[in-house]
Amino acid sequence: MILIFLLQIFPGKSTAQDTSLKVSNLRDLGVIFMEKGEYQLAYYYNYSYYQMETDTAKRIGAALDAIDACLLTGHYPEADKIIFDLENWRSDVTDLLKMKYAYSLLKQKEFTRANIYLSRIENPLVFLNQYHFLKAWSGLNSNLKSECIDNLNLIDNTFIAYNEVNGIKEMLTSDKKQKTKHVALSLPMSMLVPGLGQAYSGFYFDALQSFGLNAAFGIGAYSSWRYELTKDKTDRTYVLPALSTLIFSVFYITNLYNTVNVTHKANLYSEQEYFRKISDRFDIILENDTYFVRFKIRL
């Protein structure tokens, strides 16, 4: 299929005596495949041209298209390599490429790597709104609320999703925050009634398990002591009461430790849910791939 397509493009090359392609033809094919949406083939031809061409300006043009094709087909390591190769050539071009690549990483939820690329951008003037938007999204997913708000405040009304950005800022600055559970309350509750602190934190299975085990071993310890004390003093050994009390003590202390642990988990989950709802608003805006990724970099 590809061979037929090539023969249609280059009918003069279809004779038996000359079937080879020139280096310049690789670039032509890369451009054609890019325009037709055949990004996988566009990557192969543009990257091949980039490797074989000696003219710096022509190499950069092919490299830019190759990076676009990489990002659109998921060849992220290859895009990373090309950006690294171009870094010492044109700082303004590589800044934009880093931002495009950071966007792709954010779409993959690789927030740490994306933030590294965004921090390496020296002068993001051409697409300043997008830059601050991506910085805000990256900061939000690191639970850096103030940093997220600061970057959103730097976005002006020319941004395509300016109204949605204002909605996100309202969510971040509103008085409604994540629900917080307090260890100072859950721990005394579990001291009085094992499992009550877990129930307060929303971990009902842990609450039932803790209450059941502590009740069972507590009754066992009480019964063993009661039985031992009914014996004649000369017959008492206290082995069974001591053992049952030790087991009950272990489960009681474990109940207190578990109470503190699940309270922290409940707060962490609540915080993640709070930021996830806001992050979902970012995702809706970022569905506009054309605006963020497919802008054409002009040399």
User: Per-residue pLDDT averaged across 135-158, rounded?
Assistant: 85
For the four alpha carbons of 61, 63, 69 and 71, in that order, the dihedral sign comes to negative
Q: How sure is the predictor about 30, in pLDDT bands with cuts at 50, 70 and 90?
A: confident
Range with the largest mean pLDDT of 54-58, 60-64, 136-140, 176-180: 136-140
Q: What is the mean pLDDT of residues 229-244?
A: 83
DSSP SS3 for 10: coil
CA 110/CA 115 separation, integer angstroms:
9
* CA distance linking residue 114 with residue 150, whole number of Å: 18
What pLDDT is attached to residue 164? 83
| Tens digit of each residue's pLDDT (9 = 90 or more) over 111-123 | 888 888 888 887 7
Measured distance CA(147)–CA(133) in Å, rounded: 11
Distance CA 226, CA 220 (A): 10
pLDDT digits (tens, 9 = 90+) for 269-295: 887 777 777 777 777 676 655 555 444
Query: Which 3-state string (H, E, C) describes 73-117?
Result: HCCHHHHHHHHHHHCCCCHHHHHHHHHHHHHHHHHCCCHHHHHHH
pTM assigned to the model = 0.57
Overall average pLDDT of the 226-238 stretch:
81
CB 176 within 8 A of CB 154: no
Nearest-angstrom CA–CA distance, 107 and 39: 19
Quote the mean pLDDT of the chain.
Answer: 79
Residue 7 has pLDDT above 50, yes or no: no
